[in-house]
A and B are shown apart, each in its own frame.
Chain A
Amino acid sequence: MLSKAKLWLSLAFGALLMWSAGAHAAWELNMPRGVTQISRETYDLHMTIFWWMIAIGVVVFGVLFWSIINHRKSKGAQPATFHESTKVEIVWTLVPFLILIAMAIPATRVLTAAYDASESELDVQIIGYQWRWEYRYMDDDPNAEEVSFFSSLATSREEISNSIDKGENYLLEVDNPLVIPSDTKVRFLMTAADVLHAWWVPEFAIKKDTIPGFINESWVIVEEPGIYRGQCAELCGMDHGFMPIEVHVLEPADFEAWYAEQQQQALQVAELTNAALSMDDAMAQGAEIYTRNCVACHQGNGQGMPPAFPAITGSAKATGDIGITMDTLVNGVPGTAMAAYGRQLNPIELASIITYVRNAFGNQTGDMVQPAEVNEFIVGGQ
């Protein structure tokens, strides 16, 4: 027995050592209470059921360990001969049943409330892509300039590959966060363009699958302005772990100002699409877009990871007819990981990246494409 005690002691000591070794980082044990009424009610449900389970555990394990300690042969225990009791069986069938009913009532109430997405004041469409999110604001005014943008991981590849130190919001930061107003019922209409994804922000207690061909809805009234982070929760392929969600909740007045600015910018993009793009600007912007969107598969040197992710250097699609390069970028390659970027990037960005892949990584076609041509290609539905 002594050796067993020693074993336990050393194990406990080992555990303590490990505990202190990593003491600089967070030791979060529980779910956040969140910033909406539904999230708080969900948290309360979680804690109620948790304490019920602890209580049952204390009773069951209490009897178990008491028996283990006292009813052992080495202590001279004589086995009893009882082996059934209908009364006892009925009791321990009914008691858990009643506890479950007590839990089902509040759970039903919260679920019903969470399902009531009616009378929203702002609707935002959320579309999952491999591996980024698109947010589209549904304006009541059909003539208003549409605000929509893609939201991609902003953490650098160098941080992920451990060549530089990781930032505070490692893997939880995006280039264009979703912006919504506080104290406003915002409804999310969720779908996906390729495979399943799931949009999840723990502080909102919302997790909903985004499914191609379906529109799921869910809603939120955030009481506290601030920055809230989440992640894709449904396995969606290679970069499933790299498509975070960042939501900036602004005071309603600040949100209005932000929204107006976005509409203004959308107008500008429309104008710039018709302006001429220089080769230097296209290459500079193209390099940025490449880093953000293409590096994961085609790699920093354009060599890819064949056969799944082909090289760009010397590729027929990048060096042949420019129309083919445009088609590949705009429409993707169905049945492969190559996504259709026609909607993810604006015509200026598309013209830049098309120009870039034709003139980088040793490709030297020397030609380029203008935003207006790309726009024509898209509008022409090719």
Chain B
Amino acid sequence: MSSAAIDHAHDHDHHHGPAKGITRWLFTTNHKDIGTLYLWFSFAMFLLGGTFALVIRAELFQPGLQFVDPNFFNQMTTMHGLVMVFGAVMPAFVGLANWMIPLMIGAPDMALPRMNNWSFWILPFAFLLMVSTLFMEGGGPNFGWTFYAPLSTTYAPDSVTYFIFAVHIMGASSIMGAINVIATILNMRAPGMTLMKMPLFVWTWLITAYLLIAVMPVLAGVVTMMLFDIHFGTSFFNAAGGGDPVLFQHLFWFFGHPEVYIMILPAFGIVSAIIPTFARKRLFGYDSMVYATASIAFLSFIVWAHHMFTVGMPLAGQLFFMYATMLIAVPTGVKVFNWVATMFRGAMTFETPMLFAIAFVVLFTIGGFTGVMLAITPADFQYHDTYFVVAHFHYVLVPGAVFSLMAAAYYWLPKWTGYMYDETLGKLHFWMSFVGVNLLFFPQHFLGLAGMPRRIPDYALQFANFNWISSVGAFLFGFSQLILLLVVIKCIRGGKKATAQVWEGAQGLEWTVPSPAPYHTFETPPDPSLIKAQ
């Protein structure tokens, strides 16, 4: 874009709109176009990963094997996890970062627009490669999204090599996206937009981007070691060759735990934008929110082995990781308290984004409570690898991260499309999702405590009732997402015209540009008087 702008500097008052046809999307370097591509891609992956989940829940509807064989069931649990984490949640946040960060800091675009295009367009190929393994001889990856060796090396189906290559591509995409976010935030803020005036969404993404750069290479390293074990005769993870299967878990979770925060920190940023808007009151404790985010990011690097309390670490190691994990509750608590204090004595209205944001605060906190319980090591021996863990991380990821994404979509849709979405349909979508998600995941706490291990295609009879409820909730939740699709399509096609301000209580630079946001915004920096403390 920048070179095009220079070439055509002579006719600079001529309007540069988007190119026409498919090439607009293939060659685009515009942050809004790329944001849109990321968001549509992640929504498609959300539906695909959701379909895999419904296969799982259909099989678990009743005891006995009904629909799929155990090997295919394992492929479904694996693919569901991988597609949701790497295909749905992460790219959705990158899409929001692309759309919103330049608008929020008063920048004309992302700092590295060509790399931006590349980091998106390698993603569909990565997922095509990964999902195609389902149709290969021997089937796709069937070793869980955590792909513990040696099940994922010596005992893996041949398609594991495609999986490794796909993970490499996803990692490259994430690292490029993260570099772009950091470069944009550190270099392209409008005059007057000091760091401590940045919206929290920008702050949380800045910190998330550093986490990505720190841990994605570790993931790339661990899958490369797998590749060598499988094809080149090394024994990194093969005990018979002097290797160490536990080493795999240490490396994986050194990536995996910060990864958890990569999926939730931007959600904190979104909720910190929406709650003040609809409470019509400034965010309580902005500074402490920034410090809490940074603390969580730091702690995320020293708690990884709490995923491994049952591998037989020495007592001192167990205690260290127990204490460090419990500490995370402190900054996370600060965030929740600040959100509640923001709502306290506000003047609230409950449009769809606010409903999702409030549900986020409540249900994410429930996931946080079970998180503290899981930190208590002796109790974790009972919870570990059961449906209690499944319930825990789905509470923080679905009504946590995913609800925040839905809140964000409703919140900024009018800014993206120029039209208001259908509020009635939006509320219907919220309530169906809310009921569905709780029916789906709440009974799983009971299943886990009563002793049901995760990742099993069939179960003992005492688990039948809650599995049944959970499956009903899954189908309700899953099909409700089609309402979101309907709302978005309707909103793109028309509706009530949105004003620039959109929401009465909204603050920030993105609300100073017209709706829909023009193809190019902030070609000249915004008036510094528009930049207020959050």
Measured CB to CB, the residues of A under 8 A from B are 7, 11, 15, 18, 22, 25-32, 38, 41-42, 45-46, 49-50, 53, 56-57, 60-61, 63-64, 67-68, 71-74, 77-85, 88-89, 92-93, 96-97, 100, 103-104, 107-108, 110-112, 114-115, 130, 159-162, 166, 168-172, 194-196, 198, 200, 202, 205-209, 211-214, 216-217, 230-242, 305, 307-308, 334-335, 337
Contact = CB atoms under 8 A, between A and B. Distances in A.
A168 B464 CA distance: 13
Contacts of A29: 446, 449-450
Given A77-B346, A96-B329, A335 B154 contact: yes
Given A71-B347, A195-B155, A234-B385, A209 B310 contact: yes
A104 B326 contact: yes
A79 B151 contact: no
A130 B143 CA distance: 13
Interface in B138-159: 138-139, 142-144, 148, 150-151, 154-155, 157
Contact of B282 (A81, A97, A214): A81
A25 B379 contact: no
Interface of B: 63-66, 69-71, 74, 137-139, 142-144, 148, 150-151, 154-155, 157, 239-240, 243-246, 279-288, 310-312, 315, 318-319, 322-323, 326-327, 329-330, 333-334, 336-337, 340-350, 358, 361-362, 365-366, 369-370, 372-373, 376-379, 381-382, 384-386, 431, 435, 439, 446, 449-451, 453-462, 464-466, 468-469, 472
A170 B453 contact: no
Given A170-B460, A207-B385, A233-B453, A64 B361 contact: yes
Nearest to B326: A100
B435 to A, nearest CB: 6
Contacts of A241: 70, 453, 455-459
Contacts of A242: 70, 458
Contacts of A231: 451, 453, 456
A18 B472 CA distance: 10
A42 B142 CA distance: 33
Given A79-B347, A80-B345, A162 B378 contact: no
Contacts of A45: 376, 378-379
B333 A96 contact: yes
Contacts of B458: 160, 171, 241-242
A196 B245 contact: yes
With most chain A CB atoms within 10 A of its CB, the pick from B154, B329, B378 is: B378
A31 B365 contact: no
Contact of A171 (B245, B283, B343, B460): B460
Given A64-B362, A77-B347, A213-B244, A195 B150 contact: yes
Contacts of B330: 93, 96-97, 100
Given A53-B373, A170-B63, A241-B459, A100 B327 contact: yes
A31 B382 contact: yes
A337 B385 CA distance: 23
Contacts of B358: 64, 68
A104 B245 CA distance: 30
